Chains A and B, each alone.
Chain A
Amino acid sequence: MDMMKRIPVREQAPKVRATNFEEVCYGYNDKEAIDEATRCLNCKKPKCVEGCPVNIDIPHFIEHIKNGDFVKAYETITDSSTLPAVCGRVCPQETQCEGKCIRGIKGDAIAIGKLERFVADYAMEKGLKPSVQKEQNGKKVAVIGSGPSGLACAGDLAKLGYEVTIFEALHKAGGVLIYGIPQFRLPKDTVVQKEIDNIKSLGVKFETNVVIGKSLTVDDLFEKEGFDAVFIGSGAGLPRFMGIKGENANGVFSANEYLTRSNLMKAYSGESTTPIMIGKRVAVVGGGNVAMDAARTALRLGAEVHIIYRRSEKELPARAEEVHHAKEEGIIFDLLTNPVEILTDENDWVSGIKCIKMELGEPDQSGRRSPVPIDGSEFDIDVDTVIMALGTSPNPLISETTKGLETNRRKCIVTQEETGQTSREAVYAGGDAVSGASTVILAMGAGRKAAKSIDEYLSSKS
């Protein structure tokens, strides 16, 4: 075995998976996981742990795998992570733990994400649950939103003995894990639902169909419902559009709409009554993970799909693995290209997209070279569906209805970095509602941090 080389992970063949919604990656089996774990140098000062937003004791859990003790490996991970089966699949490991791996300097970094997933899947298969809670302490915490930050916060608080209720606006719990990330990347019934069931088994109550800010306000949670603290993890749900001509034509969708129809409402399957427009040729505008998800969904539904992105490949914000998978599956990348107008037919349905070629100029505030249009380079791409995946911002429903809750210019809730506390007493927040659209793991980390602060706050009060 070449210790420099990563044990390859088995995947569905690109041509096959391009036509179905089954998970792309099969994950490691026992032997593969042990072999991969054997490559770990077990560094004295593990850089990988520093790279992990929730500081999972990575060398330790890998050592347990190496010894074939998968149960201990699971216990080690769940000491720090609430959603290992999810994070093992969707974390940007290449820029976090794996990006810091010493093995990665001369060879391939240890496949930490794949190993985490292996352990979590093993635990699910064997029905292992995270360790159970202490006695109830009689204090009530309301968690708004059942996405990664809310689940993590609720899970930790329940373990500490709090009575936790999660309020979810949609009819199904899971937030972006359910409505946003597609089945082929994150299976819903076998992974997400099981992680949610684990949280339920800790005693957390879920109340779906409650829109905080509409059905109830944050103040009501204290005054009418008797909660002692509130955590806001309402995510970044508002889609952005470009503001170009033709954007309200039939056939232009936000990635949120497209993915929600396909994922939450299961429009990709034959069983759903929710419609989705597929189109013969689809343009997805944007270069992030959501753009890749929308593109690969449209591809699986049978369309020819173009990704239109204004910078070059190097600047694509999506995870390298997603871009690689998308290319393998046959997504066409139109890079250094920016839409200027959506063309419509006589009935005001999309008939194409007019774009302009871009070149990279001086670096902007983000340090990336900013794209500049090339005069006279306009050209049309013939498409009948356009999906806008330009990022999302926090939903103002809660901030607008909560007096004294400070938000910034981008409508993000302002919190103290270390504690997650907002400008309101006993109100904490975390995840995309605070940071703007970011990753599952950072949201989870923020949820856990807030749980710790809430515990400290409520313990000091009594």
Chain B
Amino acid sequence: MYRITKANEIAKNIFLFDVEAKRVSEFCLPGQFVIVRSDKDGERIPLTICDYDREKGTITLVVQVVGASSLEISKLKEGEFFEDVVGPLGRPSDLCEMSKEELKQKKIVFVAGGLGTAPVYPQVKWLHEQGIGCDVIIGAKTKDLVILEDEMKKVANNVFVTTDDGSYGRSGMVTKCLEDLVAEGHEYNHCVAIGPMIMMKFTCLTTKKLNIPTIVSLNPIMVDGTGMCGACRVTVDNEVKFACVDGPEFDGHKVDFDEAMKRATIYKTVEGRAYLKAKEGATHHGGCNHCGGDE
């Protein structure tokens, strides 16, 4: 059991938890993730590590309510427990493996879409601790869904917020913001884009045009997170990779996003579940109560 030392709703339906997970906190690096279960019947849910405190033995997780399991997690309060937290899983960010000299050559822009702001934060913070500055674009649908802006400002050179509806910061998608920044004279030679699959896909199309190498962090369907199930397989540069052990970060210009997006639908999206129901007919039981029988 893993005690929750802090639980906050930081934006509508987005929850932040500090959780005691000593082994994870001691060994994790930016880019890695954990798998959690809220209770003994819970689904295994992969979550990127947003922050960690090696002394207190805690890690910070951010969860957005998208389905039954994340709804259960969102109900957890300070002083309560996660049934399971396992990690750190996946490979640390490539940035963590570069030398200071290499890092100093980089003019890095992070592109964070929605909840993707959470996994971007530890990378920016880590760079800051190494004395490396960078710029961050935070994109959100609307003002109320912008998260971690203040925290990010403390560790980034510049933070540019853009909202789809123009309710806060700049107006428009992150891709527009990135193009505008480059047009305004900002120079970047390394981009890290983390967020919804569709946002990463279009960011990569943009950075390809702008000739900026781009790393993305994928969060596909997973069960064990240790390379055992293969549910998370993605095609990168025409090769099949397992996101849990080979990733989660990959060269964004080589990821087959269309396939990855289709694979992400199977149990997760309304369309995917409806399609599954139609295909399965009599054997369909709502993905085992997962979607309540798709009523």
Contacts and interface: CB of A to CB of B under 8 A. Distances in A.
B280 A384 contact: yes
A453 interface: no
Nearest to B91: A214
Given A272-B288, A273-B42, A395-B226, 11 more contacts: A169-B226, A209-B86, A215-B86, A216-B27, A237-B227, A238-B228, A247-B240, A273-B68, A277-B280, A277-B287, A280-B280
Interface string B194-224: 0000000000000000000000000000011
B228 to A, nearest CB: 4
B133 interface: no
B23 A216 contact: yes
A280 B289 contact: no
A279 interface: yes
B288 A214 contact: no
Given A248-B235, A254-B229, A265-B223, A171 B83 contact: yes
B279 interface: yes
Chain A: interface size category:
35 or more
Interface string A234-249: 0001110101000110
Contacts of B288: 267-270, 272-276
Contacts of B44: 171, 265, 274
Interface stretch (A2-10, A153-161, A256-264): A256-264
16 contacts: A208-B86, A211-B86, A214-B87, A215-B86, A216-B27, A243-B240, A250-B265, A250-B272, A251-B266, A257-B231, A269-B288, A272-B41, A273-B42, A274-B223, A280-B280, A348-B259
Interface in B255-295: 259, 262-263, 265-267, 272, 275-276, 279-285, 287-291
A210 B262 contact: no
A265 B290 CA distance: 12
B228 A395 contact: yes
Interface residues of B, number: 51
A318 interface: no
Given A211-B87, A260-B223, A273 B229 contact: no
Chain A CB within 10 Å — which of B230, B231, B288 has the most?
B288
Given A273-B41, A273-B68, A280 B281 contact: yes
Interface in A194-252: 208-211, 214-216, 237-239, 241, 243, 247-248, 250-251
| SS class, residues of chain B in contact with chain A | mixed
A253 B231 contact: yes
Contact of B275 (A237, A271, A347): A347
B87 A248 contact: no
Contacts of A208: 84, 86
| SS class, residues of chain A in contact with chain B | loop
B47 interface: no
Contacts of B266: 250-251, 277
B40 to A, nearest CB: 9
Nearest to A220: B27
B255 to A, nearest CB: 13
Interface in B15-68: 23-24, 27, 37, 41-44, 68
A216 B276 CA distance: 39
A250 B87 CA distance: 27
A46 interface: no
B227 A384 contact: no
Given A215-B27, A395-B228, A302 B289 contact: no
Nearest to B259: A248
Interface string B77-91: 000000111111100
A346 to B, nearest CB: 11
B114 to A, nearest CB: 24
A349 B43 contact: no
A256 to B, nearest CB: 5
B230 A257 contact: yes
A301 interface: yes
A398 B43 CA distance: 26
Contact of A248 (B263, B265, B275, B284): B263
B69 interface: yes
Chain B CB within 10 Å — which of A179, A237, A278, A303 has the most?
A278
Contacts of B24: 215
Contacts of A267: 288
Interface in B68-102: 68-69, 72, 83-89
B10 interface: no
A408 B265 CA distance: 38
Contacts of B231: 253-254, 257
A256 B265 contact: no
A254 B69 CA distance: 23
B29 to A, nearest CB: 11
Interface in A137-177: 169-171
A381 to B, nearest CB: 16
B233 interface: yes
Nearest to A350: B279
